[in-house]
Amino acid sequence: MRIDSHQHFWKYHPIKDAWITNEMQKIQRDFMPHDLYALCQENNIDGVVAVQADQSETETNFLLQLAADNDFIKGVVGWIDLCAENISDRLLHYAACKKLKGFRHIVQAEPADDFLLRPDFCRGISHLANYPFTYDLLIFPKHLPFAKTVVEKFPSQPFVIDHLAKPDFKKANFLEWEKGIRAIANHQNVYCKVSGLVTEADWENWHIQDFTYCLDVVTASFGVDRLMFGSDWPVCLLGGSYTEVISIVEQYFAKHSMEDQEKIFGLNAIQFYNL
């Protein structure tokens, strides 16, 4: 089974979705399951994981309703206020939602680089241990040392790094990123999504070779058992088509065995998210 482990849905609103700037006009519109389903059929994708793009429980409930109405949405990574005093009650509430697999916070947008180390945030992470919930790390390279401290603190909590932690493909400046990614990959509770590649590249002028070095690093660091493909659709449309995004990853891993490719394109996501 082929799984796209990272994509989004939204009903576009210029205030709620202010992160979609005017240079992103291609995605300043609604993106709903019917928009993605045909693309999945064309590219032999059997299921997807819908990931939050807005930081509210309204977003979580929106995605859960879409998942209930569309069988090809196999799981949801929602949002919850992990810093809240009543985090235990909120997690208990969501524990009944079978398609809710984990949570994410947009750490990359936080003013403090060490947000992940906040005592109230870490307290929230500690409560995840009572449930089979995963946690997605949406971070930049500068956040990797703080993320490493968190995954060390919670060795039994499954974490996954979104978008390779966003290496700088435009400037090809990978020193800080590589140091951080190799260090955090030493922790077996951390996976990595091969996603968001074209999103971080020059949208109009990227080449498939631009991604080779970083893909070499994550493959060597995490191994094929802790990598999973994700499209980052529809954000990826800023730099290419859904098919092109899949092709980049397919071409890179073509030299690997079919068994390895099946892990990266589905089996690892199924295991990690318990799909």
Question: Which tokens in the block code for residue 167?
Answer: 């290496």
Average pLDDT (221-243) is: 97
pLDDT band of 207, cuts 50, 70, 90 = very high
What CA–CA distance (Å, rounded) separates 228 from 269? 6
pLDDT band of 116, cuts 50, 70, 90 = very high
Q: Name the residue ranges covered by the structural domains of the chain.
A: 3-273
> Greater confidence, 18 or 77?
77
Average pLDDT (200-220) is: 97
Geometric angle at alpha carbon 225, from 142 and 214, rounded to 5°: 40
Predicted pLDDT of residue 194: 98
Average pLDDT (106-113) is: 95
Q: Say whether pLDDT at 76 is over 90.
A: yes
What CA–CA distance (Å, rounded) separates 16 from 62? 14
Predicted pLDDT of residue 115: 97
Average pLDDT (150-176) is: 97
Average pLDDT (25-35) is: 96
What CA–CA distance (Å, rounded) separates 112 from 98? 34
- β-pairing, 134-137 vs 100-105, is parallel
Predicted pLDDT of residue 44: 97
Residue % of the chain over a pLDDT of 90: 98
Mean pLDDT of the chain: 97
Average pLDDT (124-130) is: 97
Contacts of 74 (CB under 8 A, 6+ apart): 3, 47, 48, 49, 67, 99, 273, 275
What CA–CA distance (Å, rounded) separates 87 from 93? 10
Residues constituting the chain: 275
Q: Taking a C-beta distance cutoff of 8 angstroms, is the pair 139, 107 a contact?
A: yes
CATH architecture of 3-273: Alpha-Beta Barrel (3.20)
Q: What global pTM score does this model have?
A: 0.96
What CA–CA distance (Å, rounded) separates 91 from 71? 24
What CA–CA distance (Å, rounded) separates 209 from 207? 5
What CA–CA distance (Å, rounded) separates 199 from 239? 6
With 0-12 / 13-18 / 19 or more C-beta atoms within 10 angstroms meaning exposed / middle / buried, residue 242 is buried
CA-wise closest residue to 120 among 137, 105, 138, 102: 105
Average pLDDT (176-181) is: 98
Predicted pLDDT of residue 15: 87
